A = this chain, B = another copy of it.
Amino acid sequence: MRALDISEVVEQTGLRPSTLRYYEEIGLIKSIGRQGLRRQFAPQTLMQLSLITLGKSAGFSLDEIAGMFGEDGQPDLSREDLRTRADDLDKQIHDLTVLSKALRHVANCSAPSHIECPKFQKLLRVAKRPKKR
Contact with B along A95-133 (1 / 0, CB 8 A): 111011101101110000111000000011011111100
Taking CB as reference atom, which chain B residue is nearest A107?
A: B82
**Chain A contact residues (Cβ within 8 angstroms of B): what range?**
35 or more
The answer to whether B114 and A75 have CB atoms under 8 Å apart is yes
The answer to whether B57 and A131 have CB atoms under 8 Å apart is yes
Provide the residues of chain B in CB contact with A83, threshold 8 Å: 103-104, 107
Contact status of A103 and B85, CB under 8 A, knowing A51-B124, A74-B114, A92-B96:
yes
Provide the residues of chain B in CB contact with A26, threshold 8 Å: none
Closest approach, in angstroms, between the C-beta of A121 and any C-beta of chain B? Answer: 9
The answer to whether B74 and A86 have CB atoms under 8 Å apart is no
Contact residues of A with B, CB < 8 Å? 13-15, 47, 50-51, 53-54, 57-59, 74-75, 79, 82-83, 85-86, 89-90, 92-93, 95-97, 99-101, 103-104, 106-108, 113-115, 123-124, 126-131
Q: Give 20 pairs: A residue, B residue, CB < 8 Å, sorted on A.
A: A47-B124, A50-B128, A51-B127, A54-B99, A57-B130, A57-B131, A58-B99, A74-B113, A74-B115, A75-B106, A75-B115, A79-B108, A82-B103, A83-B107, A86-B103, A86-B107, A89-B96, A90-B100, A92-B96, A93-B96
